[in-house]
Amino acid sequence: MDGSKDYIQLPPMRKDTPTEVVELVWEYLKLPMDSRVKIKSLLDDVEKRPADREFQTSNLYEIVPKEEIAEFEKTMQKIISEIISEASSIACWVYVEKYIQKKTLKEMLEERRNAERFIFAIDALFENLMGSDL
């Protein structure tokens, strides 16, 4: 066997890990080590940033060549668009259930337990923006 072959191995993951997460980890592991270190450093900085600090985008292309990060970026864009789509869908659902169907927060939470925190947040946002007497 030729010892010059490159191999990567995914870390152990739970069986129910979303496909998108596996894909993102896979694309990350395919990057050269120096690019992974730079990206990890940026992600660590984002995680440590205080929530009230204004978000500033960084240009990864300044530190990692565009061709190296293209597939990773594509996967991230796919995940973000799916999050936005799902968030919009749930927000619309909460609006209809709360203001048209006149359901309580408790009733909504019982119907969609998989989105409890998001339903609670959207309900609070609607309360703040529109009040409960629509």
User: What DSSP assignment string belongs to 99-120?
Assistant: IIS---HHHHHHH-GGGHHHHH
- pTM for the whole structure: 0.54
CA distances from 112 to 17, 58, 64, 67, 87 (A): 20, 36, 41, 41, 13
Q: In this structure, is residue 2 part of a structural domain?
A: no
> How many domains in the chain?
1
What tens digit of pLDDT does each residue of 6-52 get? 777 888 889 888 888 888 888 888 888 888 888 888 778 777 877 66
Q: In this structure, is residue 13 part of a structural domain?
A: no
Which residue range is the domain that position 25 belongs to? 19-130
pLDDT of residue 95: 92
Contact 98, 106 (CB under 8 A): no
Q: In this structure, is residue 30 part of a structural domain?
A: yes
As a whole number of Å, the end-to-end CA separation of the chain is 72
Q: In this structure, is residue 48 part of a structural domain?
A: yes
Q: In this structure, is residue 7 part of a structural domain?
A: no
Q: In this structure, is residue 99 part of a structural domain?
A: yes
Q: In this structure, is residue 11 part of a structural domain?
A: no
| CB-facing half-sphere around the CA of 133: CA atoms within 13 A | 0
pLDDT confidence of 1, banded at 50, 70, 90? very low
